[in-house]
Structure 1
Amino acid sequence: MAAKRTVLTVLTSVGLLAATACTGSSDGSGASPAADRLTTTTAPGTSEVDRVTWALPYGEPTTLDPAKVGDYSPQTVMANLCDTLTRMNADFSLSPGLAEKVAWTDDRTLVLDLRSDVTFWDGSPMTPEDVVYSLERQRDPATQGLYGNYLADVTSIKATGAHQVTLRTKGYDQTLPKALSTSFGAVSEQSYTEKAGAAYGTAKGGLMCTGPFELGSWKSGGSLTIERNAAYWDTALKPRAKQVEFRFITNSNTLTSALLSGEVDGTYELPPTSATALAQSDVGAVHLGPSTQNVLLIPGNAESPAADRKLLDALSLVVDRQALIKNVFGGDATTLKSLVPPLTWSGDQAADEFDAAYKELPDAPEPDEAAAKKLVEEAGTPSRPLVAAIPAGDQRALQALTFIQAAAKTIGVEIEIKQLQPTEMSSLFYDPSARADLDLVLTFGYVTMPDPSSYVAEMVNPGGLFNWTNYSNPEASKLLDRARTSSDPAASATAYGEAQALFTPTIPAVYLATTHERMFMNKRLSGAPTSFAYMGMPWAAHLGGTDK
């Protein structure tokens, strides 16, 4: 790797989710029939607004602690509160954030040059010590954080100047600078965080970050409000909205009514049924954006009969994906051939290599009931119904799982649907005991940064956060590590493609679809990004009023 290569100089030109990007079709070409309908953002807002009301269809956040957020609701809110060291843009490109420059000076040294004009909400200046603390806290077992693995090969994190932090590593890691654009790279004030202790990020403990909004009131079970940070360091992104109130609305019918009446101004993750009703009104508009979301059916634990790949292949063969996409996702999705949607790498320098490897994968299967029944015979028909989990009140998930349930019944496999409250659903992703009695989980997952290997590693590598069945494929893990540590983009992409060919047909998972982002916004507002990048950027700071 060339010395002193500035990572953000490279990454800023990477438009991962361009409006015309492709998402992978059943013919393997990657073409999306809806590509011309996708946008990454809306027209800038032109005026200030006193108050915006936004829905969280996945319910109340379990935490806003950047080290622990890992679900839709907390990330939707936290992205507006806690700035990250590099910043995600609406097209999934990266630009400088709290660090104005991120550069490898050699293969084992990553230097972060910090901005000198950043303050926390309480007026205290952000220091290198705050940055070191925030990163080190990620891997402190006492934190119980989700992202400590990003630091697995980091040997030291030190303040090396008045506005500089240096990370020493065992070797080059091409994912590390990209991870700094996620909640892993968010910076919290050390003194405040230490004082709050385990309550940090909760309604009781509060939060202390540097973002364009600061945490206001949080009424557990009711709503959460964020207030404009008048002293925000990035004057080009000073929010036009003085206040944003988040309401926890998990019922699709209730959400539709609130949006139609104007009681709620907008939402991300708009259910298809709501989109249909809202399309007939003139209260606002439904926007479609590109996304890195993946819809998977995965076993809840290694002991379940559903962990048998033959049984999962049988379920895969009996599901009519085109009917699922049309009837459940309103046509706003495409088939998926592996764990990660192609949009994840579409802006990479080696996108052609990634695309070629993905194209070589077998196409999403057409329904074949006879072949599915044969696989069930080989695996053995489960002696009891398989318990499958979805979030309570999520009509899209319920419709999808009901669709799968009906298909499974035709091959003698019974599925029992279990609806979990949002907090229960969120916890099962990180707490093995919460999955002990679950055979299957219908997940609407997502990739948060422009790098497929780090996401996949959590499902493929033994001990990975989402490897719930103790799956092991040493060669695939070796290749994923090569993809992570290679400084040559083409070599990294090639290694990932080889790993993908190994884990795709063997890992316990049913690949169903990759959905488009669906957002609704009242016509009195504009400026919100429409792509899935909203999960990692201060999207509410872009909101403003219109003349409508």
Structure 2
Amino acid sequence: MAAKKSVLTVLTGISLLAVTACTTSSNGGDAAPRTERLTTTTTPGDADLDRVTWALPYGEPTTLDPAKIGDYSPQTVEANLCDTLTRMNADFSLSPGLARKVGWTDDHTLVLDLRPDVTFWDGSPMTPQDVVYSLERQRDPRTQALYGNYLAAVTSITATGPNQVTLTTKTYDRTLPKALSTSFGAVNQKAYTEKAGAAYGTAKGGLMCTGPFKLGSWDSGSGIAIERNTSYWDAALKPKAHQVLFRFLTNSNTLTSALLSGEVDGTYELPPGSATALARTGTGAIHLGPSTQNVLLIPTNAASPAADHRRLDALSQIIDRDALIRNVFGGDATPLKSLVPPPTWSGDKAADRFDAAYAALPGATKPDLARAKELALQAGPLPRPLTAAIPAGDQRSLQAMTFIQAAAKKIGIDLDIKQLQPTEMSSLFYDPSVRKNLDLVLTFGYVTMPDPASYVAEMVTPRGIFNWTGYDNAEVTRLLDQARTASDPAASATAYAEAQALFTPTAPAVYLATTHERMFMNKRLSGAPTSFAYMGMPWAAALGGTGK
């Protein structure tokens, strides 16, 4: 039986990372990144702001429906609109959200005690029925939700009081409460969502949530405006900005010009080239924060010649990661040793076990031309060049893929680079038909919650939505399930470590780097978080003016 506890006490802050004022970085050096350069937030801004203009460098969202978002742009916007039952903090810890308390009463019962004072944007109260509906909607096939598997262990979701919802489970599931801090845990108004139907979350259908901002206008091809929710329930996060306008700027040069001129106030995922241009202008500051992002090269389908693990190993052996990090990421990254980077578990009670297991993995080797050629020879001649996909207009991806292309050529592997438009690139991850004529994709992925096992399961278990090549190791699947269902943090970490030792050398992926979050903010603003946790928290509510 699990001890009675609130899961919100399980995760603590990241002690290694200083929560300090902004840090301006040099982005052209060749020294390894120093952890002391990383911060998780910026100095609070004091003054109200009429409007903030923020860039979306990955383009226009296809939807803002919390059940369907799984990419940078929609999550950057939606995190400010739809509150979640638990809340991600800038240091990757969790705190109460729409549920003031979340806790297991036994191994089969997870109780959500809801706040009694929350209203939707239209003024109607949030009810347990809205919460039940929002969660049940995740596993309704008609929703086509991305995260319904988080409910795999749940047998019932019921309103058990005027401000309470209870989830009954087949087994203890340590992922479930953490998932409530992601868009999976967002609460939508039942009546509005049902009326909007399939259009919910689109420019036509709109949204009805409880967040600090409400959806204002959505001008397809141009921008999305969100407006301050003057009746927001959380007094500590009442927005100072009356409006935040998101602009879709996928071209790095256009983005740089807009930031230099002040036409755009800020952006997350600032490209390295833009950072170099902005570093010494005095327009604003570049901030580096910890991140759960991973840069991977992965095959898109089992039939592709790229799925042969010998070819993947050959590519891994020939790529100079230090040079890649220096020349493409401006030094603001570190080599990645497995699927999940360490900040993911930094707030876990068993973080030391996770750290030790990750440290024990073999490090990225220096380029070995002879070994790479041997592996490529074992795989046999390619019937054709391999097609590798990247997002169109993203200079960072183009530079990285060009770097990989040149390295691959040394061992007789020809790569053709195909740039996909934002909508097609986003669809690639969820639509097999888009991947059919591709061989590889350079992914800038990320872990959305402090739970490595759930992320890895999506990539290496038979049920995983990102397991595109049919990877299947029964022992890995068993250990990941054990990590998910163990109520003891140490036991969970141990099971994950054993799985990690098995899948790391065999998973169909080339591990490249884990990047730091790079954010730019105009000097007239402050308050925004600098860590990658912004993807799951109402970051724009923290923005305020500086008077500059």
Same fold (TM over 0.5): yes
1:15 — aligned with what?
A: 14
User: Partners of 2:470 and 2:199 in 1: how far apart?
Assistant: 32
2:241 alignment partner, SS class? coil
Query: Is the 8 Å Cα contact of residues 271 and 396 (structure 2) preserved in structure 1?
Result: yes
- Residue 159 of structure 1 aligns to which amino acid in structure 2? A
Task: Give me the whole-angstrom Cα distance separating, in 2, the residues matched to 1:17 and 1:527.
Answer: 21
Structure-1 separation of matches of 2:10 and 2:454 = 19
1:542 deviation in Å?
A: 0.1
Structure 2, unaligned stretches of length 5 or more? 20-31
Question: Which residue number corresponds to residue 370 of structure 2?
Answer: 370
1:53-106: per-residue Cα shift (whole Å, max 9, x none)? 000000001100000000000000000000000000111110000000001000
Determine helix, strand or coil for the equivalent of 2:247: strand
What are the within-5 Å matches in structure 2 for residues 432-471 of structure 1? 432-471=432-471
Does structure 1 retain, via aligned residues, the 8 Å contact 2:302–2:468?
Answer: yes
Residue in 1 that maps onto 2:231: 231
**CA gap 1:76/1:142 in 2 versus in 1, 3 angstroms:** same
Cα deviation digits, residues 380-426 of structure 1 (max 9, x gap): 12121100000000000000000000000010000000000000000
CA-CA distance at 1:17 after TM superposition: 7.8
- Is 1:295 the counterpart of 2:295? The answer is yes
Residue 192 of structure 1: aligned partner: 192
User: Which residue of structure 1 lines up, in the alignment, with residue 305 of structure 2?
Assistant: 305
Q: Which residue of 2 aligns with 1:267?
A: 267
Task: Name 1:60's counterpart in structure 2.
Answer: 60
Give the distance between the partners of 2:429 and 2:313, measured in 1 at CA. Answer: 23
Show the 5 A alignment for 1:26-105.
33-105=33-105
Separation of aligned partners in 1, 2:376 and 2:10: 49
Counterpart residue type for residue 523 of structure 1: K
Q: Is the 8 A contact 1:107 1:171 kept in 2?
A: yes
2:33/2:333 contact within 8 Å kept: no
Match of 2:22? none
User: What is the CA–CA distance in structure 2 between the aligned matches of 1:145 and 1:64, rounded to whole Å?
Assistant: 12
Look up the match of 2:256: 256
Runs of 4+ more than 2 Å apart: 1-4, 13-20
**Paired residues of 1:43 and 1:527 also in contact (CA < 8 A):** yes
Mapping 1:86-125, distance limit 5 Å: 86-125=86-125
Q: Which residue of 1 aligns with 2:431?
A: 431
Aligned positions, number: 538
CA contact (8 A) 1:16 1:93 kept: no
Describe the SS at the equivalent of 2:77. Answer: helix
CA 1:180–1:17: 2 relative to 1, 3 Å: farther
Q: In 1, Cα distance between the equivalents of 2:312 and 2:271?
A: 27
Counterpart residue identity of residue 391, structure 1: P
Alignment of 1:117-266 (within 5 A): 117-266=117-266
Instruction: Quote the residue 2:26 is aligned against.
Output: none
For residue 355 of structure 1, report the CA deviation from its aligned partner: 1.1
SS in 2 for 1:403: helix
Q: CA deviation at 1:2?
A: 4.0
TM-score (normalised: structure 1)? 0.97
Give the aligned residue type for 1:221: G
Distance in 2 of aligned mates of 1:91 and 1:6? 19
- In 2, the alpha carbon distance for the partners of 1:206 and 1:91 equals 31
Instruction: Note if contact 1:17-1:40 (Cα within 8 Å) is conserved in structure 2.
Output: no
Partner Cα distance (1:540, 1:381) in 2? 52
Which residue in 1 is equivalent to 2:360?
Answer: 360
Q: 1:457-489 deviations in whole A, cap 9, x for unaligned?
A: 000100311000000000001000000000111
On the 8 A contact 1:17/1:531 being kept in 2, the answer is no
SS at structure 1 position matched to 2:227: strand
1:89-145 CA-partner distances (Å, limit 9, x unpaired): 111110000000001000000000000000000111000000000000001000000
The residue that corresponds to 1:412 in the other structure is 412
Correspondence list, 1:391-410, <5 A: 391-410=391-410
Q: In the aligned structure 2, how far is the partner of 1:6 from the partner of 1:296?
A: 35
For residues 16 and 178 of structure 1, the distance between their equivalents in structure 2, rounded to whole angstroms, comes to: 20
Q: Secondary structure at the match of 2:481?
A: helix
Q: Gaps (5+ residues) in structure 1? A: 21-31
Distance in 1 of aligned mates of 2:344 and 2:257: 34
Cα deviation, residue 4, structure 1: 2.3
> For residues 34-60 of structure 1, what are the alpha-carbon distances to aligned partners after superposition, in whole Å with 9 as ceiling and x for unaligned?
201000000000100000000000000
The answer to whether the 8 Å contact 2:479/2:496 transfers is: yes
Structure 1 residue aligned with 2:319: 319
Asked if the contact 1:292–1:446 (Cα under 8 Å) also holds between the matched residues in 2, the reply is yes
CA deviation after TM superposition for structure 1 residue 14, in Å: 4.1
TM-score normalized with structure 2 length: 0.97
Q: What amino acid sits opposite 1:15 in the alignment?
A: I
**Aligned to 1:50, what secondary structure does the other structure show?**
strand
Query: Could you tell me which residue of structure 2 aligns to residue 24 of structure 1?
Result: none
Distance 1:290 1:357 in 2: 20
Kindly state the Cα deviation for residue 19 of structure 1 after the two structures are TM-superposed: 3.8
Is the CA contact 1:17–1:343 (under 8 Å) kept in the aligned structure 2? no
Could you tell me how far 1:16 is from its partner in structure 2?
A: 8.0
Give the superposition deviation at 1:516: 0.2
Question: Quick one: which amino acid aligns to residue 59 of structure 1?
Answer: G
The superposition leaves residues 355-383 of structure 1 with CA deviations (integer Å, 9 ceiling, x where unpaired) of: 11111111111100111010011011212
Partners of 1:268 and 1:16 lie apart in 2 by: 23
Residue identity matched to 1:152 = A
SS in 1 for 2:49: coil
Contact 2:237–2:542 at 8 Å: present in 1 too? yes
Partner of 1:29: none
Could you tell me the percent identity over the aligned residues? 79
Q: Offset at 1:10? A: 2.5
- Alignment-derived partner of residue 523 in structure 1: 523
Whether the 8 Å contact between 2:525 and 2:543 is mirrored in structure 1 is: yes
